[in-house]
């Protein structure tokens, strides 16, 4: 008998911020929105993928973008830089986000 999706649901995607070492659910949100919902702040300004204030680096995992042309060069994409304000995790992700903080 083959297992079906109801007996083996896909675990929800998580986001881990390093070096804080905190992990929280992605909930289908952008990384910036999910971090804020979980009580963390990341640097941000435009929140639409143009100013690059939120630029950080992916340590593992993959993301999709909500905008067609996020403000990253091809080289930056190859080097796993990402813009959390317009990036939605595709599965579990780990970010190098040294400026991430817990909300007071």
CB of 69 vs ligand FES, minimal distance in Å: 12
CB of 63 vs ligand FES, minimal distance in Å: 13
> Which neighbouring-strand residues pair with 63?
89
Q: How far is CA 95 from CA 21, 37, 53, in A?
A: 10, 17, 15
Q: 12 vs 67, which CB is nearer to ligand FES?
A: 67
**Chain residues in the site for ligand FES (CB under 6 A):** 44-47, 49-54, 71, 83, 85
Q: 32 vs 38, which CB is nearer to ligand FES?
A: 32
């Amino acid at each position: 008998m083959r297992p079906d999706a109801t007996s083996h649901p896909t675990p929800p995607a998580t986001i881990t911020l390093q070096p804080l070492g905190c992990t929280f659910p992605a909930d289908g949100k952008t990384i910036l929105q999910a971090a804020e919902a979980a009580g963390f702040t990341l640097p941000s300004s435009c929140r639409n993928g143009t100013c690059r204030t939120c630029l950080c680096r992916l340590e593992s995992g993959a993301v999709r973008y909500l905008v067609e042309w996020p403000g990253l060069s091809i080289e930056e994409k190859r080097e796993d830089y990402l813009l959390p304000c317009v990036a939605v995790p595709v599965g579990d992700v780990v970010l190098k986000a040294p400026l991430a903080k817990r909300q007071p």
